[in-house]
Amino acid sequence: MFQISQMTGFVGAEITGLYLKTEISPDTAKALRDALGKHLLLVLRDQHLDLPDQKRLTQVFGAPMRLPYVAPIPDDPEVIAVLKTERETNTGVFGGEWHSDFSFLTSPPAGSILTAVEIPPFGGDTMWSAQTAVFESLSKDLRSFVESRRAVHVGKPYGAKHAPSADTRANVSIQMTRGDPEADRETLHPAVITDPRTGRRALYLNPIYVTRFEDMTEEESTPYLDALYKHAVRPDFSCRLKWRSGDVAIWDNRMTLHYATNDYDGFRRLLYRTTFAGSPPA
Ligand code: SIN
């Protein structure tokens, strides 16, 4: 049906022998979902999908989501243009910290898909880190600390309380709503979640959105969070994708963190992102 080549020890597989512009049969769709459950990140090269193709692919994994705070493209409320132009230099980049997408929602996206349209001649790679392997290799003490705990997730970058100052905002090509009091609402998620497909457990914390653990203050939580994040982004658990125009990446947004590298000032980078729904992390 298609070939799968594992990219690293813990996350990522390249799929070859599959052209996503043609109809995706139910058997192929199931095989793709199974591969995503196993490898957490799937990369398909040279696909050159248009937006209807990307939407069809998204539906293979779950219902496409509309997300708050980040403006979608004018023609489709379920698609975000991840764009940084050649004029946006010496600034932040969208996704330029380790995170998973929108974990402050009650039911955050189960996964995300990026299709690469314009890629700089160098840089602009995306990295993922397998939070399954991270959890499995935690020290005994950290593991028992985190195992039965819940973490508080807040839409910090979009809220009123934590809204970043103008000079630290990410690039201007992505229009975001800032200062919305609704984004300051606290959502609790287990700090360790189980993948319903595989039974594997993963650390579920988010360096952008988690403010503290339940029943602990921010000050009390910080030393634990710092230690856990240090482990969560170790290169040993990660995979780095050097994009080419036409590439597609599909990832599990619960079992991984990801990071957009910001090292291509003076060049334009454009990808389209869709996200798909799943039941709340448990
Ligand atoms: C994102 O965080 O979804 C964007 C990742 C990227 O631009 O590489």
Which residue, 185, 56, 12, 33, is CA-closest to 110?
33
Residue 265 tokens, joined: 């000032």
User: How far is Cα 203 from Cα 210, in angstroms, rounded to an integer?
Assistant: 13
Residue 256 Cβ contacting ligand 1 at under 6 Å: no
Are 27 and 2 in contact by the 8 Å Cβ rule? The answer is: no
Rg of the chain in Å (alpha carbons): 18
- Which residue type, as a one-letter code, is found at position 265? D
Mutation test residue for ligand 1: of 126, 208, 275, the one with most atoms within 8 Å of CB = 126
Residue 76 pLDDT exceeds 60: yes
Contacts of 226 (CB under 8 A, 6+ apart): none
Q: How far is the CA of 212 from the centre of ligand 1 (A)?
A: 24
Average pLDDT, the chain: 95
Residue 165 pLDDT exceeds 90: no
Which residue, 252, 240, 237, is CA-closest to 109?
252
Minimum CA distance residue for ligand 1 atom 8: 260
Residue 260 Cβ contacting ligand 1 at under 6 Å: yes
pLDDT value of position 168: 58
- Which residue type, as a one-letter code, is found at position 248? V
User: How far is Cα 276 from Cα 172, in angstroms, rounded to an integer?
Assistant: 25
> What's the gap between Cα 107 and its chain centre?
14
C-alpha dihedral over 270, 37, 22, 247, to 10 degrees? Answer: 30
pTM to 2 decimal places: 0.96
N residues, the chain: 282
Average pLDDT over residues 83-108: 93
Q: How far is the CA of 259 from the centre of ligand 1 (A)?
A: 7
User: How far is Cα 235 from Cα 212, in angstroms, rounded to an integer?
Assistant: 25
Minimum CA distance residue for ligand 1 atom 3: 95
Residue 94 Cβ contacting ligand 1 at under 6 Å: yes
